[in-house]
Amino acid sequence: MKALITGGAGFIGSHLAERLLERGDEVCVIDDLSTGKLENVAHLRDNPRFHLAVETILNETVMDRLVSECDVIYHLAAAVGVELIVKSPVETIERNVLGSHVVLRLASRYLRKVLITSTSEIYGKSDSIPFSEEDDRVLGATTKSRWSYSCSKAIDEFLALAYHKEKGVPTVIMRLFNTVGPRQTGRYGMVIPRLVTQALAGKPLTVYGDGQQVRCFTFVEDVVWAAIHLMEEPAAVGQVFNVGNDKGISIADLARKIVEMTGSKSEIHFVPYSEAYEEGFEDMRIRVPNLNKVKEAIGYEPRVQLDEILRRVIEHFLAKKGQD
């Protein structure tokens, strides 16, 4: 099996490449390194079954060749992170929508199976907790750039489902809920790496808003397991699946836990959303998935829980600190 991973030098993509190579697959990664890093895949480059193209997925000439040579496509390339979304809405919309269009059009040309990675942001401000795949979406005004990410990923989903229905492209959609683990950075506002880095440096931990917003964190290896098994499950084609952990924690409690686990003397500072992002920023208060559908489809269960996730992330940053 030869897999093409878009965004494969990124956080999730590099872990997926690792796992596919371990089981004997051939892996081709395309990444423009806008958010991905060569160091994420440096340990894979001596493997003769690993191939890397440093290029944007918007280059249709390169993508045409890569898609024609692969068996399946894991489409992970996207603009992600609340900070990037608020600061660069044009980049967010264009990279997500246009990139997915290229991937799906070429998948249609060569009839390749595609996994589309989507997001819990799809659900917007809905208070129907836990979120189920068929729930209505509740979003803020178009004047709030924060919702552009949700809308761009919704277009990705609509397009993937349309290509399946109209052109017979086998597509699977996976909505992710706060994936974390080693190699993730706090560069674009990812909360756990940012708080862990601050705690280890003895700096104040910055919690946005009142800290009572609830999130569920999923270990990257659980996400990779789900992605591979969803691609192997025939009944998953043309379907949407939540993939995450359904045990929530407030961000304020998360910060306290990180301070405790790192042995840090850092204080916790609460920063208004208007200072962190923009005036009038709207957040999702509670984000918890209903996992019944993915459990029934592939027997998915989140295997790594929060304390173990934090332990591994802390170890990762301590190891990096020791190398610097």
Task: Return the SS3 of 138.
Answer: strand
Q: 10: closest CA among 79, 86, 98, 84?
A: 79
E strands, the chain, in order: 2-6, 26-31, 50-54, 72-75, 113-119, 171-176, 179-180, 205-208, 214-216, 218-219, 240-243, 248-250, 268-271, 286-287
* Residue 3 bridge partners (DSSP): 27, 72
Q: 74, 123, 149, 277: which one is catalytic?
A: 149
Q: Are strands 248-250 and 214-216 parallel, antiparallel or unpaired?
A: antiparallel
Q: Which amino acid is at 244?
A: G
Q: How many CB atoms neighbour CB 54 within 10 A?
A: 12
**Which residue reads 């965004």 in tokens?**
7
Per the annotation, the verdict on 188 as an active-site residue is: no
Query: Which are the catalytic amino acids?
Result: 149
